[in-house]
Amino acid sequence: MHILLTGGAGFIGSNFVHFVLRNRPQCTLTNLDSLTYSGNLENLTAAENNPRYRFVKGDICDDALVAKLIEDCDAIVHMAAESHVDRSILDSKPFVISNVIGTQTLLDAARKAKGGAWLKKGRFVYVSTDEVYGSLPLEDKSALFTEETPLQTNSPYSASKAGGDMLARAYHHTFHMDVVTTRCSNNFGPYQFPEKVIPLFVTNLIEGKQVPLYGDGKNVRDWLHVDDHCEAVLTALEKGKAGEVYNVGGNNERSNLELTHSILKIMGFGPEMIRPVADRPGHDRRYAIDASKIKRELGWTPTRSAWPHALEDTIRWYKDNAQWWQRVKSGAYRAYYEQQYSKR
């Protein structure tokens, strides 16, 4: 199978490249990525000479390029996106362009590829997010997002991802495109851009800096190791049913305060390293996933996300790969992050 992967130079995409090359000897991959601030070819040095892999620098909004690349592929795994909630609060336009227009460009090129013949045999996997469901209350621990939960987006990021998600659904409904959608919880692991909470906090601590905890720290996220997510996407690609949505989660809920204390403990720091900062506007309180459908119907279940070992391994990766994140963290990005939230 030849896969056209979009966003393969980002965190999950680069892990997906390595995962597929390791686990599917018959698969070849073309990685289309425009290398925004979060795209980094250093994530892919181990793959760059592999004859089963090729990189194409380009934008998913480029009709002609996308049309050309789809001609050769059997399946599209669409991960390219603007992915950070805080950035979407500062400026939502790039989110609408990449996450909505970019998805529409890919879907429409797939519809038209090979004079309409691609539509009859190609598969389109849309990598969505649990954030499209909005927020759950902290009080009711039994409440979970299921695939039937209505989409109720709260951030410009999640709204733009829901736009792509609904377009993918529409192309299945209207044109009978073979679309499968995954909606996954928060990922952690190697090569995550250090604006997301785990790599930001871990690398700050290695640098001897405090960690900025938003609001009261009671917000809850369900943490999944990135390789478990990659395996779930591959499972959806290989075994998913056309037109279906599959939730993907780790059954691993932690409040931000709990997560922060775990990181501090593993790294040998005390609570004085927490810097309470103003809350994120519109901050979703709790995400929690019911992932029973993908287990029941496709046999996927997480095996790499067990806490605290998976967190310890991830922290070790950032300690062992300081050059990677030091380069990423230097320059304009640092100023951006420093300005973002004022001290409370």
Residues that bind ligand TYD (CB under 6 A): 85, 186, 196-197, 200, 212-214, 219, 221, 256, 280
Give the nearer residue to ligand NAD in terms of CB position, either 224 or 274: 224
Q: If contact means CB under 5 to 8 A according to the sort of partner, which of ligand NAD, ligand TYD, none does residue 127 touch? A: ligand NAD
- Single residue of 28, 30, 34, 135 touching ligand NAD by CB under 6 A: 34
Minimum CB–partner distance for residue 298 and ligand TYD (Å): 25
Minimum CB–partner distance for residue 245 and ligand TYD (Å): 19
Answer yes or no: 178 catalytic.
Answer: no
Residue nearest to ligand NAD (CB): 10
Tell me: does residue 129 bind ligand NAD (CB under 6 A).
yes
- Single residue of 3, 17, 20, 60 touching ligand NAD by CB under 6 A: 60
Give the nearer residue to ligand NAD in terms of CB position, either 269 or 280: 280
170-209 residues in contact with ligand NAD (CB under 6 A) are 184, 186-187, 193
Answer yes or no: 130 catalytic.
Answer: yes
- Binding map of ligand NAD across residues 202-231, x = CB under 6 A, - = no contact: ------------------------------
Three-class DSSP labels, the chain: CEEEEECCCCHHHHHHHHHHHHHCCCCEEEEEECCCCCCCHHHHCCCCCCCCEEEEECCCCCHHHHHHHHHCCCEEEECCCCCCHHHHHHCCHHHHHHHHHHHHHHHHHHHHHHHHCHHHHCEEEEEEEHHHHCCECCCCCCCCECCCCCCCCCCHHHHHHHHHHHHHHHHHHHHCCEEEEEEECEEECCCCCCCCHHHHHHHHHHCCCCEEEECCCCCEEEEEEHHHHHHHHHHHHHHCCCCCEEEECCCCEEEHHHHHHHHHHHHCCCHHHEEEECCCCCCCCECCECCHHHHHHHCCCCCCCCCCHHHHHHHHHHHHCHHHHHHHHCCHHHHHHHHHCCEC
Q: If contact means CB under 5 to 8 A according to the sort of partner, which of ligand NAD, ligand TYD, none does residue 231 touch? A: none
Minimum CB–partner distance for residue 31 and ligand TYD (Å): 23
What token pair was written down for 335?
């100023």
Q: Are the C-beta atoms of 1 and 74 separated by less than 8 Å?
A: yes
Q: Which of 53, 126, 157, 171 is catalytic?
A: 157
Q: What sign does the CA torsion over 287, 270, 209, 324 have?
A: negative
Q: If contact means CB under 5 to 8 A according to the sort of partner, which of ligand TYD, ligand NAD, none does residue 197 touch? A: ligand TYD
Q: Which of 33, 59, 82, 131 is catalytic?
A: 131
Minimum CB–partner distance for residue 88 and ligand NAD (Å): 11
Minimum CB–partner distance for residue 266 and ligand TYD (Å): 17
Minimum CB–partner distance for residue 249 and ligand TYD (Å): 13
Cα 72–Cα 297–Cα 186 angle in degrees, nearest 5: 75
Answer yes or no: 131 catalytic.
Answer: yes
Strand 220-225, strand 253-255: pairing = antiparallel
- Binding map of ligand NAD across residues 76-105, x = CB under 6 A, - = no contact: ---xxxxx--------------x---x---
Give the nearer residue to ligand NAD in terms of CB position, either 113 or 197: 197
Give the nearer residue to ligand NAD in terms of CB position, either 40 or 204: 40
Residue 286: CA count within 13 A, CB half-sphere: 18
Report how far residue 208's alpha carbon sits from residue 65's, in angstroms, rounded to the nearest whole number: 45
Q: Which residues bind ligand NAD (CB under 6 A)?
A: 6-7, 9-13, 33-36, 38-39, 59-61, 79-83, 98, 102, 127, 129, 161, 184, 186-187, 193
The catalytic residues are 130-131, 157
